[in-house]
Amino acid sequence: MNIINTTENILAHFEKFIELSEKLKSELSQRIKPIQFKKGELVLDAKHICTKSYFINKGILRTYFIKNGKEISEYFSGTDEWVNSPKSFMQREKDIYYIDAIETTEAYFINVNDLVYLFDNFPEMERYARLSMGTVFGHFMERITSIRFTSAKERYIHFQKTYSNIYHRIPLGMVASYLGITQETLSRIRAEK
């Protein structure tokens, strides 16, 4: 991968939220590195502390946990989205979340120490974090409301809306676990449409 070409995409993403000085562009380019994951590859094991945050250029990553031996999908991340295990990344301790690649995924990553350096030295980076994370928290709040107050069919419709760009590329078993229903129930709901 050519670092100069690949970095342009992520710099364009930052510029949607903040103005980038030449110095900040240079620092970001030095600290953000490209990475690729094969379909099915484990990106983060819950047995480890999450020290990297990944920005997806192409592909889909899934965040999940294991309960009673079953994988429960928590959320999915597609193009132009960041993903990590938030509690582990921020508090630097192990958490319950695993991350894997649903399909071959091209991404960038930044180490938590590099991110802290950027926050300490470039106040506009804190503004970026606040603005870009607002959408993530919005998704979490919608998900909580959806789980608590809606039917399985309403949750599926909400899932399709939330993940409109990628839902058709996510395996049905993962969708069912995300919705908290069986794959059979999901098949019935899909057949009703």
Which residue range(s) make up the domain with 112? 3-129
Q: Does some domain include residue 46? A: yes
**Is residue 191 in a domain?**
no
Asked whether residue 136 is assigned to any structural domain, the reply reads no
**Sheet containing strand 105-111, strands side by side:** 33-37, 105-111, 52-58, 82-83
11: in domain? yes
Task: Note the pLDDT of residue 1.
Answer: 40
Identify the DSSP state of 33: E
Query: Is 55 within the bounds of a domain?
Result: yes
Give 10-residue mean pLDDT values along the chain (193 residues): 59 92 94 96 97 95 95 92 90 95 96 95 92 72 77 90 92 94 92 79
For residue 6, the model assigns a pLDDT of 58
Query: Measured between alpha carbons, how far is residue 11 from residues 16, 19, 79, 84 in Å?
Result: 9, 10, 14, 19
Residue 79 lies in a domain: yes
Q: ∠102-104-110 over CA atoms, to 5°?
A: 95
In a domain, 188, yes or no: no
| Domain count of the fold of the chain | 1
pLDDT of residue 24: 96
Q: Does any domain span residue 62?
A: yes
> Does the predicted TM-score (pTM) go above 0.85?
yes
pLDDT value at position 143?
A: 75
Report the C-alpha gap between 154 and 146 in whole angstroms: 8
- pLDDT of 2: 41
Q: Quick one: pLDDT at residue 134? A: 67
What is the domain-level CATH number for residue 22? 2.60.120.10
